[in-house]
Structure 1
Amino acid sequence: MSIFWIVQTLLVICWIGRQEVMCSGVFEVSLLRLQNHRGVTGTGRCCRGPSSFPPCDGECRTFITACILHHIQTLPVPRRCTYGEARSAVVGGNAIDLDDQEPVTFTINIDFTWPGEVTVIVESWHDVDGTATIYDSSQLITQTYVATSVPSSDTWHMETTITPTTEQKIRFRFTCNKHYFGIGCDVLCRIRDDQYGHYHCDVNGTRVCKPGWSGDYCDKPFCSEECLKNQGSCDTPYQCRCRLGWGGANCGECRPYTGCLNGYCHLPYQCICHSGWTGTLCDIDTNFCFKQLPCENGGSCITDHVSNYTCVCPPGFGGNNCKFPLCYPGFCFHGGECQTRDGARECSCMENYAGDRCEHQLVPCEMIKCQHGGSCVPGRYGGTCVCTEKYTGERCEEEIDPCISTPCNNGAECRKDNGTMTGFTCLCETGFGGSLCDIPISPCAGFRCYNGGKCLLDPEGNPKCACKSGHIGEHCEISTDPCKGVKCLNSGSCKALGNGFTCVCAKGYHGEVCELKLNACDSTPCLNLGVCKDYVSSFLCICPKHFSGDNCETDLREGGLDAPPQNDEKAPPVGDNPPVVPAVSGAQTHATRVQPIVTLALILYVLMSLVT
């Protein structure tokens, strides 16, 4: 295969690797027990104390690391935690027993399809300088290395590693996040019961429709054949929704005209009357007079297609059913006499009384005294008092309350006040003015609040600014954000720290505002006259003849070995972070998790270098 086709194949793999996969899970690793009674590292030397070899005076400062990588039987060098890694703080000394307590647990989120078969590496280290570094392999206490199948399950896998000086017991498992299923947690299924679906999920993430629903997303309700035959439809299972004008369980019944009382239909909105009924709404009983005999006192009943019947009453009686005599005691007031004439009644009134029922007493103005400046005016039924503006009553005896008409607006209180032209005064609520309290007045007018603040009234009605978060002051003019106006250089970000601030710098920079670039060679890491080359947050040692190693620390002459090719400036460390190899000592930068897509990119880089 030519180099061209190799490059093409790698590009296709890289493109596939970029496609987003809907999956989600979490890998958990727990330390249950670590016994290191002698207090030594894996090399047999004391972790702490004046003595280099046991018995040791001090305890180890133990911290734990976890690494997940692809399934492989032999530990690769350099090692890449391709699926994720984690690290704890110092968790104890020489003896850590957490079987019956809360274990030290690492949680590593997985955002790709879980492969099932992986390699798990859990290591205990001595924190020699308080930085929890793993770049000096002489500080490694013990290691558990397992290459196995880890399907998604709630069950823990237990592993115990025993060496001449240590015993380490761990457990690990992989579980899917909520709503994710399948071996690789790549099946998304979220329970629904709404307009978009009605289903729950089985253990494999398959949608299982609720009773009465069907379809890929369980959004189609079951509907009876009779309903569909009548052109009905279902929004919910087995509940037929009818067209306008139709009803019944399966929409096979027509709806008669609204208000049709004694009728039926063949088509929607008909009103066909049953026998014995008539009218637009079938509400007229054609046999009402014969069945009910509603007319009394000898009245005659006539069928009426508007009101069922009409009674023709004999002389002296009236009412819908001829029930009441036209003249009855008390019909005429003040001693008047009731008489019937041509089927109507009328009252013959006593002297000084008038009206249809003699209800008005005829009093002349000579006998009427109107009070408070009122004047008497003759009329049809005698004299009547016409009162001045502020008085009322039959004889103008009552003074009119000016507040009775509630002239004040917007909740104002009305008080009688004879000293005003209107006779009243309005006591306005806060925010309103004018003689009738009908003019709105804003106490916030001219009172300005800055930075998005809002003017409100305090309990005493005075304006006050309600400030948004991050601002204080009478007018919200003072900022409480210490990062305001601060610019951190070289992609740094500002973070509030009490009343001050600090710049969180990007990798490779430091300083108050991240203005200074770090030089990895400042610490002179290269031994035996090795030359240090600085790269972005990492370095490379170019060793002299007869020396090798990441820091030129190995003298090849001591082992009788031929000198290998020396480091070359054309082979810089890959990326910002050199590989982490706990089994080999050397000052290396912190390892970061390398995703599969980055590994493929590195292979592509090497092949392109060969081509050029």
Structure 2
Amino acid sequence: MIIALKPFTFFAVWKIILSLENDVKEYYVEPKGGKQAITSGTISTYARSRMTCFSACFESYSCKSSGFNKYTKECELYNEHSSPILAGGWSLMIANINDCASNPCLNSGTCTDGDNSYTCTCISGYEGLYCDVDTDECSSNPCLNGGTCTDEVNGYTCTCVPGYEGVECAINTDECSSNPCLNGGTCTDEVNGYTCTCVPGYEGVECVINTNECSSNPCLNGGTCIDQVNSYTCNCGSSYIGSQCQTEYDDK
């Protein structure tokens, strides 16, 4: 936006300049008559106040716009206003230069223009003055139970240790879901493992082994043991009888 004011005397223009807020202000000063403005280039010089900038234009007739930054104490003299120089006093034109014209906000950030400044509003996943910094979503340590976090743009990925799963490794993997315990065994889930409680007659990690009830040599007097599931049978021959061949056979 540019506000054009009617021609003033130098002192009237001076008074208007003094009334401006002591911030970065951009304005055109067009001398009516005198030397032509510079044709190209921008001059930056140290300045104590905004009046220093205005005076530089007035004294040399070498510029057509000036700005003062109270923070850096810099005075910039421009030749951006190129309308013809006319006779009849001075004109003051106050302008707001679009500082977003150079697209300073990166990664789809939105630029908001200010007085010789701008503000970047970043999309999710980026931060910083120019939205040039990838937000580290791993900084809050979202991965639980020893999981490893890998940062991504506007997100993260957790690599879980064995025994855990889920987006943040919060879920204990159910190793019993595949029914690993055989022959009627009961599965108890553990972290990265399981335990099978076998029914009588079976043993082993997954209850796959038939327990050998003959291993204790239960058959007496030369009887032969035949293993079965959770039991055994003794073949006693003709001289002994009983479940363990413990009784001598008497045929009388």
Taking structure 2 as the reference length, what is the TM-score of the superposition? 0.37
The structure with the larger Rg is: 1
Structure with a larger share of its residues in helix: 2
TM-score (norm 1): 0.18
